[in-house]
Structure 1
């Protein structure tokens, strides 16, 4: 870039994305005089999914604003809870976030998940087609223009990932209502109707079952239920919802 100079600073939470010299406060950026502020922000490393208000000389502007010489720009972080306009809130997760997808589904959150690496263009197109918020740790994917909406997952620990998504988007929770395998809805199942799909020990030990209306998977409160109940209880206690299941 070789043109007007602006002064720019980033919210502390965005320091992860920018070079070390831009984390401490206001720095100088030379623009080309034609690119939008959104382009400038992304060129400095911050996906627009993670940028909140853009302030120029103290006033909010759109990402399409073309910076002029001498302007002072402040890039804020995304406000929480974040409002996503349009479609009912639902998510799309990339191949690296399988555990997070299963935990969101456990809480009744609509979370589509691609278990195969179908590539960034296909993921972005799916996000747009189904109007889903793309969740990813891939900064390049989150910069794709065709995304419906997106969010960077800051942690690599599933517990922290789940808390971050629930805090950021505040999705309504309805635990035990979705299939953790395929994201389909669960319905109560009569034991006689699913008996042929149960192992002998399960048939003798349990009487309450649910079945996925999409893939037919059968659920019951098995030995793993206590750990799942802990995840659900912690989420409901912190973010609201019902624990019945």
Structure 2
């Protein structure tokens, strides 16, 4: 591949990483001729072009995998491949040598409705603290959670090991995106968590909470769950069937109705 300068670096972005490039670098099939005028890591170079490191699955130089700390010298051709379901976060890779032991998430406030939907499906989903970007990034790392956000600057922090730049603005499409990338369908446990607190619900006996129920609820429902955190009660109402129906459109897996 021709280079404009002896010091230029040829970057070839694959998959949907091409769509994340800053506007001046789009429109060339993901190929970027980068003027290498300073000594810096490949991670910093990629992120300067608009792509957070969280979106990268692996880097190749002459078919040899490279870490984020790799420092190019110029006249190299580096292929940037996206994160995919074939690279599960529970398995070690060169870019992420310390895998997660289980799937748990932290959702940014800019997509808070996604957190509610994920909790409804039984996925362990915390929300970010109202702090600085660095503190949020540190919290996600410390708690070993996958950080989901639409904020590129937040995901570029070094402390963020596992994360995803959510593409869609539609909440249901966002959830479909997360399900596909992390193969979440088999982890569904509908109505197992509080949609407000993320705490696992506990079964309660109707007679113990009957004084808290409206007359029609007393009459038509017998099985109840309670959040140990906020004491909110849950039962199989009409909204339940609608939500289960929505979940079934996202997967071929058999879905337990939670009750």
Same fold (TM over 0.5): yes
Match of 1:32 in 2: 37
SS in 1 for 2:189: coil
- Spell out, residue by residue over 1:147-193, the C-alpha distance to the aligned partner (whole angstroms, 9 max, x if none): 24211111011111111101101232222211111111112211111
Equivalences, count = 241
Match of 1:168 in 2: 181
Match of 2:114 in 1: 100
Distance 1:215 1:63, change over 3 A: same
Contact 1:134–1:147 (8 Å) recurs in 2: yes
Match of 1:14 in 2: 17
TM-score (norm 1): 0.90
Question: How far 1:122 sits from its partner (Å)?
Answer: 2.7
Cα distance in 1 for residues equivalent to 2:211 and 2:11:
65
TM-score (norm 2): 0.85
Structure 2 residue aligned with 1:121, among 100, 109, 134?
A: 134
Q: Which runs of 5+ in 2 are unaligned?
A: 90-98
SS in 2 for 1:225: helix
Match of 1:45 in 2: 50
Cα distance in 1 for residues equivalent to 2:156 and 2:66:
19
Distance 1:168 1:127, change over 3 A: same
Structure 2 residue aligned with 1:233, among 234, 243, 248?
A: 248
Match of 1:215 in 2: 230
Contact 1:3–1:33 (8 Å) recurs in 2: no
Cα distance in 1 for residues equivalent to 2:209 and 2:87:
41
SS in 2 for 1:28: strand
Cα distance in 2 for residues equivalent to 1:82 and 1:119:
30
Structure 1 residue aligned with 2:81, among 76, 83, 107?
A: 76
- Spell out, residue by residue over 1:76-118, the C-alpha distance to the aligned partner (whole angstroms, 9 max, x if none): 111224422133210000112222111111111100124x743
Cα distance in 2 for residues equivalent to 1:218 and 1:39:
48
Question: How far 1:21 sits from its partner (Å)?
Answer: 4.7
1:5 matched to 2:17? The reply is no
SS in 1 for 2:160: coil
Question: How far 1:29 sits from its partner (Å)?
Answer: 0.8
Contact 2:42–2:70 (8 Å) recurs in 1: yes
Question: How far 1:66 sits from its partner (Å)?
Answer: 0.9
